[in-house]
Chains A and B, each alone.
Chain A
Amino acid sequence: MGDADGGHPMSGPAPTSFWRRYVFSTDHKVIAKQYLFTGVAMAFVGGLLAYVFRSQLAWPGEPVPGWGPVGLDEYNALVTLHGMIMVFWVAMPVLVAGFGNLLIPLMVGTDDMAFPRLNMLSFWIFFLSTLLVVASFFAPGGPPGTGWTLYPPLSTSGMPGAWGVDVLVLAVALEFAAFLMGGINFLTTAINKRARGMGMWDLPLFVWEEIIASIVFMLSVGPLIAGALMLLADRHFGTGFYDPRAGGDPLLFQHLFWFFGHPEVYVLLLPALGIVAEIFCAGARKTLFGYRTIVWATIVAGLLSFIVWAHHQFVAGIDPRLAAPFSLTTILISVPFSITIFALIATLWGGSIRFSLPLAWAVAMVAEFLLGGVTGIVNGSAAADIYVHDSYFVVAHFHYTLVPIALFAPLAGFYFWFPKMTGRMLDARLGLLHLVATVVFFNVTFLPQFALGMMGMHRRIANPAAFEFLREGMPLQELSTVGVIGLLVSQAPFVVNLVWSWLRGPVAGANPWRATTLDWQCPSPPPHGNFEREVVVRRGPYVYSPPGSAEDFVPQDAPDAERAGGGAVPSPLVQPAE
């Protein structure tokens, strides 16, 4: 603190000891890597769980190679932890905390987060929660087989002795505490530590998306924390918040859960769209189409996200007259997001597109996310939901949103910013193999699940062959499982690429993509304190190919005289900050 004017180095001398540099570091870049790699490691854990339960679904009762036979309670725990891990220990740390930590200080042109120690504390609390979520599987009394939604009374009186449930709830609570600290840091940094001359409308879209995501997260998470505390009290202290015999109501928890749970998906979506926008602009050499329109649309979407939650509960026993209003808000949220998606496509339109791996990943993200988006209309319609609720159609839908969000977008970002993180380029051929294989196996995995859902397959059943109406779907089950195995194997080129390129990759230089934002105007990797001199911002974030200039990009901090094309950029394009 005490550095609210921004830009002035306050991070002090670089630490020299191994522990302070790489483990208990307060440097946002180190913390970003810690979040990213913890998230990636957990992605493999979550993926392996998926391999186990998908194998059970395709070949029910057969021992799963490398695991053994899958018991019914084990199956429930596998799907529970898969969901929990992928949302809270992969998507959140990678998208929000990882990229947020790496990019926000760089993009606003400052030396570190506003509260570096709080930042370190946030990571280590998160790391503790990671250990706990893994431990919950082995807890005495049984693993948490409640589903990631933790609905009572199954999670209370339904599983009295299962310490796995308590450990899991505790892990989630710690995780939320960590991300609340992170959110405070992101907001304070973006608002108070911007470089001299940088107004809010000079922020790259990614920073805007992180700001809005942080606010949505902070406003929505409180009710769920309260809900989780009441859950623990019901389990151990004899209260009856969710017990109808004691005057409570199980639906209360569902409301608290989804009041957080649905905004949460937008908390994840927003940074993903921000990553895509940065890559599209640099790839197309073109300014972002409708920058302010996108920001306003995102704010509207953030507000709407607070009044859509009951679409998870149309047939859950709520008053049926509530369905239509929530169905309406749910379907309406497609409008602001369609504005963003259309604006991203319009950003490519009229560009001069340089194909690169990050751009290809970003395009894959949008192309696949579109299918996830439109199938959301089916679930969001109360009438269609009567049939598809809790079916594999829903499963397919949210994987077509969340896999592009939490896998494709971060990988796009990873291929884009790896040079900034390490100073080296990733290998393009291995990257292309990774992309093609991932896209193919992703679709092989989840397209069949739309069909299975329409066939009537309901969620969280360990043996579809036990239901007559699902027997003809068994070949599709096998196809989907082959897809998961392929998807896991497809990540091998990425791991090889990561290790090899970090050690031996070609040196990148400060700005390999010739991009305009401040993150590319410091050395790669940025030294402790990031910028070698004080940054002064002179224009908006995406001055690519401005009229009257020979250069196809003008960095945000470039003084007019230094511009290669000569001559001042016309004032409306410069968007000079006050």
Chain B
Amino acid sequence: MPHHLPEVASTFAPAIDGHIALIYVVCGVWLAAAEIALFWALFRYRRGASPRAAWMPADGARQAAWVLVPAAAVLGFDLFIEWDSARVWAHVKERTPRGNVEVRMTARQFGFDFHYPGPDGRLGTTDDVASRELRVPAGRIVRLEMESADVVHAFYVPELRLKQDIVPGRRIAAWFEPTRPGRYTIACAELCGVAHSLMQAPLLVEPVEAWRRWATQTGAIR
């Protein structure tokens, strides 16, 4: 089982963890089987116990089947893992839902700037409200519109299980629904220059009422 994973804080995090666990189990069994076969063969067929080697060129299908049948099984498990992967991927990355909260984020060397829609409820207008931290309500869908001002950066929050590169020249969307109020760290996961190591910003997940109070006070939302 994958251990050391940070505690989950988004709705899709358990699906990603479950998918990783699935791979761990399938691959763990195969790994153990292959290692056991390797070391068992070394022990069982050592010179003392096996004075003469067998002749097994595996030219024909009968002998080659010893390798091809397990490989076909690998193919089957591959397809199963890929099916599960495509399902989870589509949920997280392909179908970006409309957000209850929409935030524009600009990554730059070496920080993140956030903009809320402001009184008119629309992003990209003059009344947008800037913030140095990402404050969002728990249990609501947050939609990010991300841009980079200079080089390639990434938006990464381990507890959300979300990572997305931000490429200059593109507006890239991402979404998440935080589940647990708390204070988290947004880190840049793509080498972006000298101070890449220090590039981070706070993510504050608050109960809905507390968040709404902050948002209306600052004029971040209508």
Interface residues, chain A, CB within 8 Å of chain B? 72-73, 75-76, 145-147, 151-154, 157-159, 244-245, 248-251, 284-293, 314-317, 320-321, 323-324, 327-328, 331-332, 334-336, 338-339, 341-343, 345-346, 348-355, 363, 366-367, 370-371, 374-375, 377-378, 381-384, 386-391, 451-452, 454-456, 458-463, 466-469, 473, 542, 544-547, 552, 572-573
Chain B residues with CB under 8 Å of A323's CB are 89, 93
Inter-chain residue pair count (beta carbon < 8 A) = 299
Chain A residues with CB under 8 Å of B200's CB are 466-467
Q: Tell me whether B3 is interfacial, beta carbon within 8 Å.
A: yes
Shortest A107–chain B CB gap in Å is 19
Q: How large is the interface on B (under 10, 10 to 19, 20 to 34, 35 or more residues)?
A: 35 or more
Chain A residues with CB under 8 Å of B4's CB are 451-452, 454-455, 473
12 of the cross-chain contacts (CB-CB < 8 Å) are A146-B191, A285-B52, A332-B75, A381-B82, A383-B88, A384-B85, A386-B16, A454-B2, A461-B187, A466-B197, A466-B200, A469-B185
Question: Are B63 and A290 in touch, CB under 8 angstroms?
Answer: yes
- Give the docked Cα–Cα distance between A504 and B183 (Å): 65
- Give the docked Cα–Cα distance between A290 and B70 (Å): 14
Q: Is the interface of A mostly helix, strand, loop or mixed?
A: helix
In the complex, which of the residues B59, B85, B94, B159 contacts A469, with contact meaning CB atoms closer than 8 Å? B159
Shortest A368–chain B CB gap in Å is 10
Chain A residues with CB under 8 Å of B161's CB are 386-387
Question: Are B70 and A353 in touch, CB under 8 angstroms?
Answer: no
Known: A290-B58, A316-B165, A382-B86. A390 touches B154 (CB 8 A): yes
Question: Are A335 and B78 in touch, CB under 8 angstroms?
Answer: yes
Chain A residues with CB under 8 Å of B55's CB are 286-287, 545-547, 573
Minimal Cβ-Cβ distance residue in B for A549: B55
Interface residues, chain B, CB within 8 Å of chain A? 2-6, 15-16, 19-20, 23-24, 26-28, 30-31, 34-35, 37-39, 41-42, 45-47, 50-59, 63-64, 66-68, 70-71, 74-75, 78, 81-82, 84-90, 92-94, 109, 150-152, 154, 156, 158-159, 161-170, 172, 185, 187, 189-198, 200
Question: Are B53 and A158 in touch, CB under 8 angstroms?
Answer: no
Question: Are B197 and A552 in touch, CB under 8 angstroms?
Answer: no
Question: Are A352 and B52 in touch, CB under 8 angstroms?
Answer: yes
Chain A residues with CB under 8 Å of B185's CB are 467-469
Question: Are A76 and B71 in touch, CB under 8 angstroms?
Answer: no
Known: A342-B67, A346-B67. A384 touches B92 (CB 8 A): no
Question: Are A346 and B66 in touch, CB under 8 angstroms?
Answer: yes
Chain B residues with CB under 8 Å of A293's CB are 58, 64, 67-68
- Give the docked Cα–Cα distance between A552 and B47 (Å): 12
Question: Are B23 and A381 in touch, CB under 8 angstroms?
Answer: yes
Question: Are A285 and B16 in touch, CB under 8 angstroms?
Answer: no
